[in-house]
Amino acid sequence: MQYTFFVALLLLAGGAAGFPLGVAVSQTGPQMRVQIVMQKHVADLPLPSNIEVRDDHWDPGAETGMHEHPGPVILVVIEGELVEETPGGRSVLRAGQAFWRPARETHNVRNTSARPARVLAVHFDPTP
C-alpha cells in the first residue's frame, strides 16, 4: 500500500514538473558534442607553472625556425596543416588532431601549404 502511494506520488510530481522538461528536452536544436582529441598521462609537468593559451595563426610559408620551450605544450590544430620537424623526425599536424610536445624538445614548425593554418597551443612553462 505504502509502495503504491509512493509510486503514484512520484508519477504525479514527475508529471507536473517533468512534462514541460520532457517536451523541452525532446525538441531538436543546437547540440554540444564532445570528442576527446588527446588523452595523455604525463610525468614531466613542472609545478608550479605559468599556463599560457595561444591562438597561433600561420600564413602560407610561415615557419618558426628551430627553437624549444621550457615546459611541455599541447597543440590542437584548428584549421590547415603544418609540418613539424624534431630530432626524432618529421610529423604532419592536421586539423582536428592534438599533439603533446615534451619540454625542451627542439623543433621547427612550417606551414608548407597554400592555405592559412591555426593552432590552439597551451604552454605549461615552469616558474622559478
CATH number of 49-126: 2.60.120.10
Which has the minimum average pLDDT: 30-34, 69-73, 109-113?
30-34
Residue % of the chain over a pLDDT of 70: 77
pTM of the shown model: 0.69
The C-alpha cell at 17 is: 514538473
pLDDT band of 4, cuts 50, 70, 90: very low
What percent of the chain lies above the pLDDT cut of 90?
56
Domain boundaries along the sequence of the chain: 49-126
